[in-house]
Amino acid sequence: MQTYLTKGTCSRQILFDVTEDGRVENVKFIGGCSGNLQGIAKLVQGRKIDDIIDTLKGIKCKANTSCPDQLAKALEEYKEKNKSL
């Protein structure tokens, strides 16, 4: 399980898994607006990393970011560390 510490959002942390073929599974936000974040987690379940980044990157809420934007940043960071994807 991967862990990302968020910046500038109500959620404090994002947990997620990535399959061997680059699909995101088991997304869980710690803190934040529970219903909205459960919805985001279900909507991205099983999708490719790049599709999620393209969809969520740049969505703004507070502090010029948002929980969806932070998920995109978490996945970008994951990709940078795992260049094989």
pLDDT, tens digit (0-9, with 9 covering 90-100), for 49-81 = 999 999 999 999 988 999 999 999 999 999 999
* pLDDT tens column, 5-36: 999 999 999 999 999 999 999 999 999 999 99
Residue 84 pLDDT > 80: no
Bridge partners for 11 per DSSP = 31
Residue 74: count of CB within 10 angstroms of its CB: 23
Tokens 């990535």, residue located: 18
Q: Which two tokens stand for residue 56?
A: 């969520």
pTM: 0.93
Confidence at 85, pLDDT banded by 50, 70, 90: low
At 20, the amino acid letter reads E
